Amino acid sequence: MLRAQGRAVHQCDSGWVPVFVDQEQSISLMSVGFLLESPDEAVVWRGPKKNALIKQFVADVAWGQLDYLVVDTPPGTSDEHMAAVEALRPYSPLGALVVTTPQAVSVGDVRRELTFCRKTGLQVVGVVENMSGFVCPHCAECTNVFSRGGGEVLASLAGVPFLGSVPLDPELTRSLEEGQDFIRDFPKSPAFPALFSIAQKVMSEAPARLS
């Protein structure tokens, strides 16, 4: 998505140097993908080994000064989530951004993730509903491919902010497939105002703590 595949991670005195994805060095990235020899290689690791690497990604990477550190986790409430919460606790994380799709089956899973946040004392910045309706590019009619409204109901039940819905959007997919800059290249896409408004709400709910 960020055209960073195949890039290498180097060592410096203060730890691993993250991969910079743009010339301005405004986004730096660390991923287990950079440590593998081939993109086909499977990370067949049990919990303890994953936990150790997640801790290293927080503590042993020379992140420098950041506005936001975004940790993209798999779905669920397992080793990865516990390890990330534990590794980040000393830094008082701003909170969890919880993403669901509209249908009841996903909302059920995500309810359990909200319980996890409560149990581990992680604040919930808000809920985002993804894959929320599809505007046909041929006839402009909207279809709720995956039911609708689940994210908003979930946020209201859990008493956390609902940050918005992102529609299914072939232009967003294409942009991610080709590593394009969505903000620059697709300002008229239906997902654009949705993502822009969510980003603004996140920044106002959880402003960066500049030191």
Residue 57 vs 146, nearer CB to a second copy: 146
- Residues forming the site for a second copy (CB under 8 A): 1, 39-48, 50, 74-79, 81-82, 103-105, 108, 111-116, 119-120, 134, 136-139, 141, 143-147, 168-170, 173-174, 176-177
Residue 15 vs 137, nearer CB to a second copy: 137
Please answer whether residues 100 and 129 qualify as being in contact, where contact means their C-beta atoms are separated by less than 8 angstroms: yes
**Which residues, other chains included, contact 102 with Cβ-Cβ below 8 Å and sequence gap of 6+?**
129, 131, 132, 133, 144, 146, 147, 148, 149, 150, 151, 165
What single letter denotes the amino acid at residue 115?
A: T
Q: How far is the CB of 130 from a second copy (least distance, A)?
A: 12
Residue 17 vs 79, nearer CB to a second copy: 79
**Interatomic CA distance for residues 63 and 18, integer angstroms:** 7
Q: How far is the CB of 76 from a second copy (least distance, A)?
A: 6
Please answer whether residues 9 and 30 qualify as being in contact, where contact means their C-beta atoms are separated by less than 8 angstroms: yes
Residue 36 vs 59, nearer CB to a second copy: 36
Q: How far is the CB of 47 from a second copy (least distance, A)?
A: 3
Q: How far is the CB of 21 from a second copy (least distance, A)?
A: 15
**φ and ψ at 33, to 5 degrees?**
-55, -35
Q: How far is the CB of 27 from a second copy (least distance, A)?
A: 17
The four Cα atoms 81, 165, 180, 97 give a dihedral, to 10 degrees, of -20
Residue 28 vs 73, nearer CB to a second copy: 73
